[in-house]
Amino acid sequence: MSRFPILAPLAFGACLALSPLVQAQDDVTLGFIVKKPEQAWFINEQDAATRLGEEKGFEVVRLAGEDGQEVLSAIDNLNSQGAQGFVICPPDVRLGPTIMRRAEQYGMKVVTVDDRFVNADGEPMEAVPHLGMSGYKIGQQVGNAIADEMEARGWDPEKVAALRITNYELPTAKKRTDGATDALLDRGFQESNILDAPQQNTDTSSAFSAASPVFSKNGEYEHWVIYALNEESVLGGVRASEQYGLAADDVIGVGINGSGAAFAEFSREKPTGFHGTVAVSSTMHGRQTAQNLYTWVTEGDKPKANTETTGTLMTRDNWEAVRDELGL
Ligand code: FCA
């Protein structure tokens, strides 16, 4: 009886000091590192995470990581600010093991968003919690949207080419274009009319450079459809089709994301070859990953290994309604 009142508080204090799992809630700083800080998709994710931090009382440090060096400096920078962890969309998924080594040196927790780390064998790093698109299904939605619009325009499949802008180094990108291809083939698209344009990156300018020569070498087709891992890349393909001299009516481009890049295109007075995009909530991606990391830091609950999100087709006709529905 005499010893407990003294020992119990001591033991409790020692426990708190030794337990790195649970963080006082008013002292949380989390990083949010993205590969393309200028793209609307990523700006929106970082905004949503920042807003959540304001609501819950933690700080979000927004950082760019456009290559491996920049990511490592961002992690050093976060460490000097006392951050407990970060959300990241890496510039190259193969950097996963290097990024994790640096984070572990500092005892930081890491979750990935959009692009999932792979290990040296190219397999997903299951130990790092991830949230991203269900790439194959969303790709199928793209393929079906293109097939529907081809039917609506009454195009003869023999005379239609597909510009498939690919990025096979990024697994989610491959899943998306594979899903679109499979859906198109199921709907009767001619396999030999699918022409590849491998892009170096995931942006508009790399897609434009990849697409231009494909148009100029294949002048025999009457109509074109265009797909890629995201709308930024499809827009690069659409711009290349315009430069080649194709009319908007002869092009059906369908993207993925539903971000400011698509809104700007739908807001143009005259329709372009950009028919639509499968919109996914970047707001939800940013908010949910920040929430998952915050819960992990403050309560010790590690998030689920993999969460896959779904999409909704957005066109010139419904884009504002879909945008509002997805909280964009
Ligand atoms: C990748 C793409 C982005 C976005 C994200 C969910 O990172 O590059 O445009 O589609 O997946």
pLDDT tens by residue, 55-76: 999 999 999 999 999 999 999 9
Residue 24 pLDDT:
62
In angstroms, the CA 43 to CA 32 distance is 11
pLDDT > 70 fraction of the chain, expressed in percent and rounded: 92
pTM recorded for the entire structure: 0.92
Cα(156) to centroid(ligand 1), Å: 32
What is the residue with the minimal CA distance to atom 1 of ligand 1? 114
Q: Provide the mean pLDDT of the chain.
A: 94
In angstroms, the CA 266 to CA 173 distance is 24
Binned at pLDDT 50, 70 and 90, residue 25 comes out as low
In angstroms, the CA 317 to CA 24 distance is 48
Cα(145) to centroid(ligand 1), Å: 19
Question: Rounded to 10 degrees, what is the CA torsion of 118, 124, 125, 126?
Answer: 170
Find the residues whose C-beta lies inside 6 A of ligand 1: 41, 89, 114-115, 133, 172, 202, 229-230, 256-257
Exposure on the CB side of residue 274, measured as CA atoms within 13 A: 30
pLDDT tens by residue, 117-132: 999 999 999 999 999 9
3-state secondary structure of 114: coil
| 12 CB burial (10 A radius; 0-12, 13-18, 19+) | exposed
Residue 3 pLDDT:
41
Residue 26: pLDDT over 70: no
Q: Hey, which of 33, 44, 204, 230 would you mutate to test ligand 1's pocket, going by the most ligand atoms within 8 Å of its Cβ?
A: 230
What is the residue with the minimal CA distance to atom 8 of ligand 1? 202
Alpha helix (H) ranges present in 81-134? 96-105
pLDDT tens by residue, 34-51: 999 999 999 999 999 999
- What is the rounded average pLDDT of the residues 102-124? 98
